[in-house]
Chain A
Amino acid sequence: MPAVLKIRFVLYSILLLIILVLLNKAILPFGKITYKVTPCDNSFFIQKLHPKDRVSVVDKKTCTQRVSGEPVYFNLNTQRTFNEADATITYRNSGQNNVIEMGVQADARKNYRLQPLENKIIDSLNWDKISENGVTLLQKNKIYNSVDAFLNNLPPKSEIATYHYDLPTQATIPNYQPNNQPVIIKQPLRGSYQFYTYVDGPTAEFEFLFSDLNNNKDADNVALTLYDMRNNPVTVRNIVDERGGEEMRQAQDAGGLHLELTTLAPGFYKMEMAATDDIVTTQILSSQKILSFINRLWLADSSQLPPLTKGRVGVGYTLYTDAGEITASTLNPAALQKILINHDVLNLDETYRQFSVPANEPLNTIQFAHDDVIISGAGIFSFSPESLYNPNYRKISKNQNLDSINYIITTYQPQPNAAGEWRTKTLHFDLKNAFRYKHNYNFILSVPGLIAGDHVDDYVEIKNIKINLQGRSLWEKVFN
């Protein structure tokens, strides 16, 4: 064979091989691939931790990176979809962080499905432990011999805490006494929220009044959905924004929704109000006594509202909650204040930053002078003690007081305390229902209480991240 042909054969064979390798890496005919990265690498597939102000510069000697604020995110860029991911992370906890969790984005609204990497509160407990089928029961004093025995004969709700485990929600309230008068909430609430309510008869009535602040350019639609406790929607109502006036910063009346429900089964329901932050609910009227807001409330700035819709203009505000830790933040310098939580003071003295205080009573009181504050916690909130009732079991928070807790049930496997040591942990994620945007799965690393720039030397140091992905093979895609 002439030399030219030999050279061509070799070179074009190499080119063909490269093309086949690239196609193989994109299609993944067997449906499996593993990506691994250290902070020193510039990987196309597992991208760097961000935002930059929450992570340190990469230590080039050890190829590690410290996370000093939370949450941080990283993207997994894939050229095809997958069904499952096993994410293995090697990290080191500085010792001050009680809870470290990792999750994958579940939907476009930036909700994440979190799983525990480390929980020092549970790790440090000297309680009796029983583990069966991936579920661990911790008992302060051993009463139950198995997890099944516990689940079939649950102790009083006030003694139980859960961590990444869902016990069946309470179906009814024993000896429930309904109100004769409707509950009216005049405190304006900004953006989306959810609340539990309890219906003891077939009828219930709700009325919501809204204002539109018109700060942002997006249309400000309102969607109101009532769910039963199996998360089935019972009724849906919408207001479509045809008012115009976006970005005019002139608040205007946005109408209201009236729900008169006549075929409800007795029990707990969840009302979800989904809207942009331009929408303010200026009044809620409910025939039901229980209105327990779930996890988060944004008390709107009354001064921004039209005069007739101002609702309650404050001489102070009081909320009640069962959350074990209360977090407050504000975007408004005029809302900076001291907030009284039971007998403790939470100093809300900086905007765009969260401040937290433990709250250890079964019923905690939050008192504050100015509105336009976002209050959150792993629990429920209400405007009166009579309206507060949580059908769910208490969830463990990062500063949970366990004095009244005798049982913890969790899918987390406790591990020996090892502050300052490297740990490698693998978490399994279902990607079939995960949110994927522009070929990216988005992951989060959550360390509640880890705040960048707080002059406390607490951090989580990352050594490497490895992700095993599994999806449908080429065979399954073609023939199924």
Chain B
Amino acid sequence: MLKIIARELFYVFTAAILIFSLMELIAPNIVQAHISLNLILILWLASGMVLLVMNKNQI
């Protein structure tokens, strides 16, 4: 179950990075004014690393 949550979190952070980056390209600062994209990036990386560790432990 935890692995499913970690995997889905990774996917949603990936979607968030892509969508927010596209929004920023179209209208600069539409996201950055309220949410730091650096924070989303860190969360995406962290969720990815957690997922990798979980996958590794299963092997």
Contact residues of A with B, CB < 8 Å? 3-4, 7-8, 11-12, 14-15, 18-19, 22-23, 25-26, 44-45, 77, 79, 439
Contacts and interface: CB of A to CB of B under 8 A. Distances in A.
B2 to A, nearest CB: 11
Contact of B16 (A8, A15, A23, A44): A15
Q: Which of A4, A22, A45 has the most chain B CB within a 10 Å cutoff?
A: A22
A375 to B, nearest CB: 43
A78 to B, nearest CB: 10
A11 B33 contact: no
Contacts of A45: 33
Nearest to B16: A15
B15 A44 contact: no
Given A12-B15, A19-B19, A79 B4 contact: no
Dominant secondary structure at the A interface? helix
Interface in B2-57: 4-5, 8-9, 11-12, 15-16, 19, 23, 27, 29-35
Contacts of B19: 15, 19
Given A3-B1, A15-B16, A8 B8 contact: yes
Contacts of B34: 22, 25, 44
Contact of A22 (B1, B9, B11, B23): B23
A22 B8 contact: no
B31 to A, nearest CB: 6
B30 A3 contact: no
A4 B12 contact: no
B4 A26 contact: no
Nearest to B15: A15
11 contacts: A7-B8, A14-B12, A15-B15, A15-B16, A18-B16, A19-B23, A22-B23, A26-B30, A44-B29, A44-B32, A45-B33
A19 B33 CA distance: 13
Contacts of B30: 22-23, 26, 79
B12 A26 contact: no
Contacts of A23: 30
A11 B1 contact: no
Q: Which of B5, B11, B12 has the most chain A CB within a 10 Å cutoff?
A: B12
A26 B4 CA distance: 34
A22 to B, nearest CB: 6
Nearest to A19: B19
